[in-house]
Chain A
Amino acid sequence: MTGTTSSTTIHSTSSRMRRRAGLFALYVVCVLLAILFLFPVFWSTLTSVKPPAEASAVPPTYWPSTFTFDNYLKLNKYGAGILRYVYNSASVALITVFGTILLSTLAGYGFSRFHFPAKNVLFIMVLAALMIPFQSILTPLFLLMSAVKMQNTLFGLALVYITFQLPFGVFMMRNSFDAVPREIEEAALLDGCSTWKMLTTVMFVLVRPGIITVAVYAFLNAWNEFLAALIIMTQEVNFTLPIMLTSVRSGYYGAIDWGALQAGITVTILPCIILFLFLQRYYLQGLMGGAVKG
């Protein structure tokens, strides 16, 4: 009897230890993977604050002897200066965010709450862009932008980005409005609320998570987009950050300054990472919502 008890105890202790060892191994794997995923970003950021000579050293050096912002100052000497390119990227991204929010919220409300002829046809037409890659319509978009004298303008590029964002935005906002119970709206209507006032006061608050999701995607996509910016922006002063950095890397400004390039990369990617960390929930919601429709 006693023997049985003690053997069970031994057994459970050893299995607990095995469980512990397993847990530990899992954590080790997790941490190693985290290092792999973070290393490129960390290394670039670290190099951006090395003294320029160390940042371009052959072979590469590891830990910086001192921390400086010299690479950022050197980056500022390229073209129209880094602040100009940050301004370009930020304006395009913000115009895209506001334009997308405005158009998608209005359309989402209309598609969710009203009946009118050809509603389904129009809805499918707006969503059709999800099926068609934008890469295939860039040539006519370029000609269109030139024809209306908006090629090489921040606003013109933002219009192109709003077009790319619209299907996802409308789909997302239609679903957000669909999720709001009709009773709330009916109560407000009985209180004498007009359709417009309903949207701008009552509904706007209720669909705010959807709006934030649409905004996060619009911002990140506009900030990061490469091909359309490369085509629409042909004058150096209007480049967005990725295009400007590609010029630095391709030796457009003479020998490649790797330290300055890392400063540029850091300026480009840090806002995205910070935005994501703060609004992660909304970003992932959009991924789930968008994935259903592709």
Chain B
Amino acid sequence: MTTASAAIAKPSRRRSTLNRQRSIAGFLFVLPAVLFTLAMFIFPLLMTVWMSLHDWPLLGQATFLGIQNYVEMARDKQFWASLWFTTQYTLLVTPAIFILAFALALLVNTALRGIGVFRTIYFIPVVIGLGASSLLWVWLLNDRVGIINGLLLDLGLIERPIIWFVDKNLALAVIIISVVWKTVGFSMILLLAGMQAIPEELYQAAMVDGANYRQRLTHIMMPLLRSTFALALVLSVIGSYLSFDQFYIMTRGGPQNQTITAVYWIFNNSFTYYKMGYGAALSIILLIILGALSILQLRILRDDVTY
């Protein structure tokens, strides 16, 4: 840039100092954010790697262990159980969110008068914190004061209150319902945006050719939504893989530690047992899993279809 302008016009010394000044100004503008990222993100990230090679108590000296923490992980039954439980949860909650989100998106994509109001209503739980919504649901589901048991009893559907959180599968089922309630609006809006980006002419052309609603859905909308589907899917999978709040609040990991997720197990090691080195090693494994999922996400986004 500088050489090129110097070659074309000689009397541009003033211009090149101006360029230099602008270059410095630009650097100064981004500097605070860059320093912040270095101190609060890059440094902790490197420190996680470093800590994972140590026995690192809250107080006192850290001792270098090499890969001992990673070896220990292989024998850590709860770690594998947590990883498997998180996978199970992800595999169950993702399709649930997805199918409902797609149905809702189809519904709010109709040209009904006042549909915008319904769109907003379905989205409202998304802006509530997961902590608050978990506290809310644990009360709704309570066996003594909860309205869900109250309604089921009053309608004569059950004989006595169901204690949801004493059984792993029941607990998982109701947590999935609460999470779907809280997050389905997010995927709905993503899919809706994808649907609205499809040009109306494509549908009209298909209608002229005699395609019915279902055919237009399966032959035009679904293929064109492929990348939106993929995006919503990957976001949902990553979010589910990192879940903590709902299990910490609603089941506290019980019954018998059966609902401890991966992040929950990291939390327990680092902040309950203060085995911070081991917690860091677990974090690295989680990072690798999530990194693989992110790469997948990027690859999917790269072959985005344009219409």
Contacts and interface: CB of A to CB of B under 8 A. Distances in A.
Interface of A: 23, 26-27, 29-30, 33-34, 36-38, 40-41, 43-44, 56-60, 102-104, 106-107, 109-111, 113-117, 119, 122, 125-126, 128-129, 131-133, 135-144, 159-160, 162-163, 166, 170, 195, 199, 220, 223-227, 230-231, 241-243, 245-246, 249-250, 258, 261-262, 265, 268-269, 272-273, 275-277, 280, 283-284, 287-288, 291-292, 294
A163 B129 CA distance: 19
Interface of B: 1, 22-30, 32-34, 36-37, 40-45, 47-48, 51, 104, 107, 110, 112, 115, 118, 120-125, 127-133, 135-140, 142, 144-147, 149-150, 153-154, 181, 185-186, 189-190, 193, 231, 234-235, 238, 242, 244-245, 248-249, 252, 263, 266-267, 270-271, 276, 279-280, 283-284, 286-287, 290-291, 294, 297-298, 301
A260 B217 CA distance: 48
Given A38-B124, A103-B32, A131-B291, A60 B37 contact: no
7 contacts: A34-B122, A107-B34, A116-B24, A140-B44, A140-B45, A141-B44, A144-B44
A27 B112 contact: yes
A129 B25 contact: no
Contacts of B154: 59
A61 B1 CA distance: 75
Contacts of B140: 40, 43
Contacts of A231: 267, 271
B290 A246 contact: no
Given A119-B26, A242-B131, A277 B120 contact: yes
Interface SS of B by simple majority: helix
A224 B136 CA distance: 14
Contacts of A34: 118, 121-122
A266 to B, nearest CB: 9
Contacts of A109: 29
Given A26-B112, A163-B40, A273-B128, A137 B30 contact: no
A203 B112 CA distance: 39
Contacts of A280: 120
Contacts of A284: 189
A238 B125 CA distance: 27
B124 A273 contact: yes
A contact patch SS: helix
Nearest to B28: A110
Contacts of A223: 129
Contact of A245 (B135, B147, B186): B135
List 5 A-B pairs, minimum CB-CB distance, nearest first: A114-B26, A224-B129, A110-B29, A242-B131, A107-B33
Given A34-B122, A38-B121, A116-B23, A294 B235 contact: yes
B154 to A, nearest CB: 8
Given A141-B40, A249-B138, 18 more contacts: A26-B110, A36-B181, A37-B121, A59-B149, A59-B150, A110-B30, A114-B26, A126-B30, A132-B290, A133-B286, A136-B48, A139-B283, A140-B48, A140-B51, A143-B47, A224-B129, A272-B128, A294-B231
